[in-house]
Each structure stands twice: as C-alpha cells, then as structure tokens.
Structure 1
Amino acid sequence: MKYINKSIFLLVFGALAACTYDFPEPQVNEPTAGSADFSKIISVGNSLTAGFMDGALYNRGQENSFAVILAEQARAVGGGDFNVPSINSTNGFFQMGPQGPLGRLVLTVNPQTGATGPAPIGAGDIPTDFTGDKSNLNNFGVPGITLLTALIPQTGGPASPQNPAYNRLYERFASNPGTSTVIGDAAAALADGGTFFTFWLGNNDVLGYATGGASNPAILTSDEDFQQRLGSALGALLQASPEAKGAVANVPSLAVLPYFTLVPWNALPLAQAQADQANAGYAQYNGGLALARNGGLITAEEEELRQIQFQAGQNGFVMADESLTDLSGLGIPSLRMSNPSDRATLPLAQALGQVVGGNPALIRGISFPVEDQFVLTIQEQAEVNQKITAFNGIISAAVQANNDRLVLVDVNDLLNRVLQGQVSSGGVGLTASIVPPTGGFSLDGVHPNARAHAFVANHFIDAINAKWGANIPKANPNNYIGNDLPR
C-alpha cells in the first residue's frame, strides 16, 4: 500500500493575488535510484552469478540468477536491459553418460529401494557457442572460475592438457577466446556506458579445495594471492567507469551447504553377519594398535579413536586420516572410523559400500578405506573456515578502501541465518536443504535454487538501498520456484 502526504505551498504571483495549491509530496514507497544510477548494470562472478543450478547451466537457472532478478527489480528505478549469454538448453550438461550427455539433476525415487535422491534428468546438451551479440552482454558469470582464472586469457582456451585454466563456459562467449579475460570483457562493458556493477568472486578460491575433501592443497589460494588478485579485478572495474558504483559480495560458510551435510557420518548399514566378517578382518589391525599404545607410540585416546569395530545397523565408515600418528613402520595404516565431527561430501553417497576396482573383496568404507577426497576431518574444516574468514576480511577491507563507490553485501551472514532458520518470506521459511518446497539449495547441494536466488537478490537490494538512499523494490521470493517434486 502506498501513502501520500500532502503539504500546502503558497505561491505569490506579483502583488495581485495569492493562491493556495495542494501538491503531493513524493510517495513514501516511491521507487528511486537515490544517488546511484542503474541504467546499465554489469555483473561479474562465478556459477552463482551465472545461475548454475542442479549441477548444470540451463535456461531456467540462467533466467533466475540473483543478477537477473536484481536487474529486473532495478527497472523500477531506471534500470535497462540485462543480457545474458544464453546457454539455449532446457536441461544443460551435468556429465557424460553411456549414451551421450546427461542433463541437470532432478529428484527421483529409486523403484528398488524407494529412496529419493538426485539423479540426471536424462539427455542433456554439450554447451555450444553463444551466437548473440557479445558486445551487448551484461552478465559475466562463469561457473568454476577463481579470481586467478577471471584475470588470465588461458581461461578462454584453447583446450589442452597443458591448460588447466581452460573453461568452456567462458570460451563460448569470450570476446576473443584465448586473448580476452572475464574481467577484461566485463570492464569493457562497464566502459561502454556502464553505471553499476555487482561483483561476487572468491568462493571458488576455497570451494574446490573443500569439495575435494581438502586433498589437494595446490588449488587453495593463498591469502597474499587472494588480496593481490582481488585488488586487480576490482581495480579494473572501478577504473573502467570512474563514476560507476558497485556491490561486492563475500564468501559464504561451507557449513551451510547440503553438499557437506546430506551424507551422515554413520551412513553405512550392515547386517550382523556383515559386521562380524568385517570385524574379523580388522582383528590384527586392532591388536597392532594395542601394541603401539603399550610401546608408548600412541596414547590410549588415539588407540580408541583408531579402533575399528562394526555392529549391526548404521555404522561409521573406515577412512584414511593423515593427521593420525604415522605407524607405517609397524605396518599399521592411518585408518579410523568416521565420527560425528567428520563431514562427508555428497559424492560419497554413490561410492560408499561399492566394490572398488572390480575386486569384490574391496568394499569402500569396509575393507577399503574411504579416500581423503570424500571427507573433511575436523582439522580440515577448521582450515577451510579460517581461510574463508581471511578471504572475507580481505574483501571487507577492499570495499572499505573504496567506500564512496562500493558496498559490501554480507551473503555469509544471510546464509548463516538461513542455517539457523531465521529467513522467510510471507511466513514461508528458507532452509539449508534440498528438500522442497522450502529447501534453498539446488540438487547439487552447493548452488542456490531460484527461490533462494530471490532472497540473495533482495539482500543485495537491502545493502544498495541503505548505501545510496535508493528504494529499489524487492522481489517476492515465493514467486520463484524451488526444487521440483520427485519424479
């Protein structure tokens, strides 16, 4: 509802007469751009900005990214067209299957077990080149990019085993593949009449390390490199259009992602006979731990942690843990069973309890330990959390250094409140799950779905309105679809 306040102004025309007129003051809820200009918005980012959902980039996801929703809401305050490099695919590309490309994930019911879970929808599409006007794009979101790969031309190709930076989803719309960069293309668009930009990079500088179970330290960006690359990227955009203002988002906590919560630590069901057989196989191992403890090589607490003992029902799984005392000199591997402090990654759902290498004697999680890439230990979780805190401090400092032109959008805080059940719209909550109708994450367990993107867009709008005295109307998240019901 809009409210109109009226004031009386006295206008005097010469000395002949005085007439009184009623003029309406601006409506309290009247949309306004404040001291910002949204006539040409440019968005720079990774999969979150691109609208990647359900393990794929597909039409519905692209059309419902927070960047598109924000631009649509900004039309009320003078915002113009917002063009995306359309993927032109209903199902997108999740992975290759036996019969060809498979599309996005959907919830399906297993006819044998009755269990519901994500699975590819069926046929998908290999990403094709964008055939529209590359010079007229507004959305420069590229799934998978880090701050480094946003700044280097190798990201646009050519593809080769010697070019790990190559990204097909950038190459398809790059202004000059192999020469141009994501930041360079976005800066050129800003220089061509751009008035406002959103910037959301940095997630993948830690996310890839975490989703891989913290097993590959080489892909974790150092604090020094993060600071230098962030400065280069933001600097290029600020210099491209000296009057343009921007909204910069930070890195969310990984604790909120279903990718790390969907597979419980005790996800291994065993019958009594299976448990007995497995325990017989670890009798010698457990005996060796007792000898190591008696010899003063490990404490009683570590011996207890490393003991492997199965029972009928739900069990933890056997896993490798490099943080354990090295007893390899005694022929004792660094193994233990998972416990409530561990976070399994979503791919373990398909790998746990399966035969390894075609050898029926090797069962992952029982006779074959779950590998490092499938689990985050409590020490690795702490490492990831410390890195996110450091990155967010660097992002905050960069925004503060350009306080007249930039505003921080604390998405980390938003998603933490989602995790605590504190976010809703019209009485309908947003949850940190993939379960419809309130689940805010798409079926890959990492990327928000369309409804959650509307909440993110509104979070941007709140920050922008507060910073520049604007009144961009907010979207109604309940008008946006969450996850589809199981098929």
Structure 2
Amino acid sequence: MKLLYKLRYLLLAALVVSCTYEFPEPQIEQPTSGSADFTRIISVGNSLTAGFMDGALYNRGQQSSFAVILAEQARAVGGGDFNVPSINSENGFFQMGPQGPLGRLILTVNPNTGAAAPAPIGAGDIPGDYAGNKAELNNFGVPGITLLTALIPQTGGPAVPENPAYNRLYERFASNPGTSTVIGDAAAALANGGTFFTFWLGSNDVLGYAIGGASNPAILTSDTDFQQRLNAALGTMLQANADAKGAVANIPSLSVLPYFTLVPWNALPLSQEQATQANAGYAAYNAGLAQVRAAGLITAQEEEYRRIQFQAGQNAFVMDDENLTNLTALGLPSIRQSKSADRATLPLSSALGQVVGGNQALIRGISFPVEDQFVLTPEEQEEISNKITAFNGFINAAVQANNDRLVLVDVNNLLDRVLAGQVSSGGVGLTASIVPPNGGFSLDGVHPNARAHAFVANLFIDRINEKWGSNIPRANPNEFMGNDLPR
C-alpha cells in the first residue's frame, strides 16, 4: 500500500496566490552607538548564524541571516563591512540525487492532486572552497556544529570514517583545515580589530538528538560537558579582546519547530477493507494484552493504551515505545498506536505507509511499527525540554558572570511568542509554520527563513540598545522574503 500524505493547510491555493510581500515601513529615531563599538562585528555560531535555510546553505539565505541583518543595521552607528564566506551557489546543496547534487527545498504542487509539499528545486552544488580573504571574514557560522565541534580541530579535517566530526562547511573557509577551530578563527578575528561579537551556539547539542526521535542518547550532550564547553568557547571569545562586548543568544524550544508538528499523529488513511485486514493481524496481540492484564502484569489503563484498533478514515499509526512495560518475554512487543501527545518528525511524511525492505507484507505504521527515530514520545519530549531548560540556565549564568560585557538575547522567548501568535510587524504576524507569506520557518521545518531572521536581528538590536544605550535602527521584517510561493 502506498500512502500519499498531504499537508492540508498548504492546499489553500486562493489564499497563497493572493499573498504579497509589500508591507509598511517602520519609523526610526536618530541612531547612536551608545557605549558599545560596532566598527567590526564578529559572529560565531551554527546554522542559525550561517543563514542555513530550506535544507541548504545558499546565497539568498546566507545573505539574510540575522548576523548579516544586524551588521547592516549597525552601519548607521559606525558599523563597518561584514564579510561572509560566500557559498557562491543559488541553490546550495540539500542531498545527492540519482543525477547528482540536489539543491534547496521549494514548495511544489502535485499536478495530479493539487497538494503542495517541500521538494528539492533541482540541480544543486557541492560546497566549494571560499575564494575570498579569510583574514577579513566576520561571519563564523557553521551549520551542524555543537559546542564540542566548535572547539576541536577535527571539525575541518579530512572526510574519513575515523573523523565523524568532519564538517565540509567549515573546512571550506577554515584558516588552517585540520588544525584550526571555529572558535579559534572567530577569536582571532575578534583580536584582529574586532569590537563586538555575537555568540549563538548550543542548539545542536540537543537538536541532533531530537530530530532523530531521541533514538541515539550518545549524541545528547551531558549537562557537565555543555557547561564546560560553553565556558571554554565563550571564555575564548572574551579573552581575545578585553574591550569587546557581545550578545549571546539562548536555545529555542524544539516544540515550536514545524519539523515536529507537520505530520499529525493520525496521518494514516485506510479504507474499511484495509482496516479490517489490519485488525485481523493484531487480534492475537490484543488478546495477549488482555491476558497479561488479567494476570496483573499491566494495568487496565496500560492495556487500553497499548490496544491496536483501526477503522475506515484517518488512523493513528503503530509505533515502537520503549517506555511501555517490557512484555517481550511473553511474546508481546513494546508497541502501541500513536496518540495526540506524540510528535512525529518530518521524515515520517514520506516513510509512513510505505513498504519496508521490499517485503509487501511489511507496511510502515500498519504491519511494521514506526521506528523510534521517527517519533518523540511524551517522555522524550519532557527529557528534551528539561535539557534545553538546563542548557539555557548555563547560558544565562555565563552571561550574568560577565554582565559588564555581555547581554542575553532570549530567542527562546521570542519563538514561544511566535507560537502563541504574539509577534508581528506593521500589523503583519509571524507564524510558527512554513506557509507563505507569514510562516517564519523555512521549508526544512527547523531553520528560520529570511523574514524570521529579521525579527531575530531586531531582538538582538533591542537588547543591545537597552544594555549599552545604543540606538541601532531596527530592520523592517516585511522587507524580507518569507518562503517562496508554490511552483
């Protein structure tokens, strides 16, 4: 059976076609620099600083990162050039396809169904070496890096199996690939005439674990390691230039990301014939649950929670759940159907309902349970939320310990307000979705798009202005593109 999963809200063609990006201009006051110096801004971070969008690093996204927008606004108060390691690609690199590299994601409309969904634009480019002057770079944002890989030289080393920390997107502009580090290069730039810096690292210390469905605990950074690495990285930046001030951003809640909200818990459509056939396959399993409940091995509540029953129409999918009472010794697997509290990851949209391993009897979500990497259970969501809270506590403490030189930029709060529908510019809102023009996330469901980056830049500007009496003019988010309209 082949599942065709539709993102229903993207079918509002009339609404989408009527969208424009023409919005009113904001009013600004006379700009002043206050007690900070913005002559040469240095930015260090991960994909958020680099401008990674739509599953790729490409020209438009790279030039629309919050760091670039902030630096452009700071020109009004004496800020200078802000050089980025240009990727020199209109489409960037999303993944390899059968005919070669594929570029960034765009919204495409299925001509047969009218459904719109993200898909690669077409041909892309393998990232090439940066051809400019590395000594003049201002932006040291590298997609995919954690605090650890920002601190170790292997990040830019050769792409070999024994070097899992390899990152081509750093190697291409590293001062000395295989020896230099992201933090080291950024600190050197700050020491060489830098006057102000932004620091936004730590998201990938939990994001990689989350987008993999919390299935690989080995990649989740411990609290102790996070605090030590944060202090080492931030300390290196502070020591590079004793006069430079900086703005430090925290980690957003992952619950706001469309990556975890686009696939509903009941995304499995079945006919009555399919439902009847599937129910027959689980009759023995359901009977076994009743027996172990009668024996007192599980509660009546757990029996009901684990019971599998399909019907005609939209259905919850069968999934693994390691948090269930382990009954494997009795021949009962730890499976159940998805619930409204579960969060499926975006890759499940193309995997659900598909044949597994070429065996027509194994249908993912029906006769073959959806694997751990595709779903966050409530327990896993709580674990991730607690981890982000702890990490943000360390970030806040580090900023407070250097309160004379640093200011905290609470991006976590900003995106929570976006989710609540409380963020707008010129009367035009920003939403936690990928739907143009108001959707604030790019089509990969994880990274902000250009318009959202402008809101983030304004948050940096607000906090900097409050802290040091500056009056950097805010950007107009409505001048920046959201996601492209469907093609």
- Shorter chain as denominator, the TM-score bin is over 0.9
Hey, what does 1:122 align to over in structure 2?
A: 122
Q: Which has the larger radius of gyration?
A: 1
Alpha-carbon separation, structure 2, partners of 1:122 and 1:30: 45
Hey, what does 1:387 align to over in structure 2?
A: 387
Could you list the runs of 5+ residues in structure 2 that have no partner in the other structure? 1-27
Number of aligned positions between the proteins = 460
Alpha-carbon separation, structure 2, partners of 1:268 and 1:253: 27
Alignment of 1:300-339 (within 5 A): 300-339=300-339
User: 1:30, CA displacement in angstroms?
Assistant: 1.6
Hey, what does 2:70 align to over in structure 1?
A: 70
Alpha-carbon separation, structure 1, partners of 2:371 and 2:47: 27
Alpha-carbon separation, structure 1, partners of 2:259 and 2:192: 40
The RMSD of aligned alpha carbons is 0.6
Hey, what does 2:11 align to over in structure 1?
A: none
User: 1:433, CA displacement in angstroms?
Assistant: 0.1
Alignment of 1:139-288 (within 5 A): 139-288=139-288
Alpha-carbon separation, structure 2, partners of 1:221 and 1:311: 42
Query: CA-to-partner distance for each residue in 1:195-219, whole Å, 9 max, x for gaps?
Result: 0000000000000000000000000
Could you list the runs of 5+ residues in structure 1 that have no partner in the other structure? 1-27
Hey, what does 1:459 align to over in structure 2?
A: 459
Matched, 1:37 2:54: no
Alpha-carbon separation, structure 1, partners of 2:399 and 2:78: 25
TM normalised by structure 2 equals: 0.94
Hey, what does 2:473 align to over in structure 1?
A: 473
Task: Determine helix, strand or coil for the equivalent of 2:150.
Answer: coil
TM normalised by structure 1 equals: 0.94
User: 1:113, CA displacement in angstroms?
Assistant: 2.3
Structure 1 segments (4+ residues) deviating >4 Å = none
Hey, what does 1:6 align to over in structure 2?
A: none
Query: CA-to-partner distance for each residue in 1:4-32, whole Å, 9 max, x for gaps?
Result: xxxxxxxxxxxxxxxxxxxxxxxx92211
User: 1:114, CA displacement in angstroms?
Assistant: 1.8
Hey, what does 1:89 align to over in structure 2?
A: 89
User: 1:378, CA displacement in angstroms?
Assistant: 0.2
Alpha-carbon separation, structure 1, partners of 2:403 and 2:283: 63
Query: CA-to-partner distance for each residue in 1:330-389, whole Å, 9 max, x for gaps?
Result: 111000000100000000000000010011110000000000000000000000000000
User: 1:159, CA displacement in angstroms?
Assistant: 1.1
Task: Determine helix, strand or coil for the equivalent of 1:38.
Answer: coil
User: 1:421, CA displacement in angstroms?
Assistant: 0.3
Alpha-carbon separation, structure 2, partners of 1:425 and 1:29: 17
Task: Determine helix, strand or coil for the equivalent of 1:362.
Answer: strand
User: 1:110, CA displacement in angstroms?
Assistant: 1.4
Alpha-carbon separation, structure 2, partners of 1:98 and 1:303: 46
Amino acid of the structure 1 residue aligned with 2:236: A
Amino acid of the structure 2 residue aligned with 1:87: I
Higher relative CO (Cα under 8 Å, sequence separation at least 6) belongs to 2
Task: Determine helix, strand or coil for the equivalent of 1:108.
Answer: strand
Amino acid of the structure 2 residue aligned with 1:137: L
Amino acid of the structure 1 residue aligned with 2:303: E
Hey, what does 2:134 align to over in structure 1?
A: 134
Hey, what does 2:16 align to over in structure 1?
A: none
User: 1:112, CA displacement in angstroms?
Assistant: 2.6
Alignment of 1:408-423 (within 5 A): 408-423=408-423
User: 1:115, CA displacement in angstroms?
Assistant: 1.2
Amino acid of the structure 1 residue aligned with 2:403: N
Matched, 1:356 2:338: no
Query: CA-to-partner distance for each residue in 1:48-95, whole Å, 9 max, x for gaps?
Result: 000000000000000000000000000000000000000000000000
Alpha-carbon separation, structure 1, partners of 2:333 and 2:115: 35
Matched, 1:442 2:451: no
Amino acid of the structure 2 residue aligned with 1:438: N
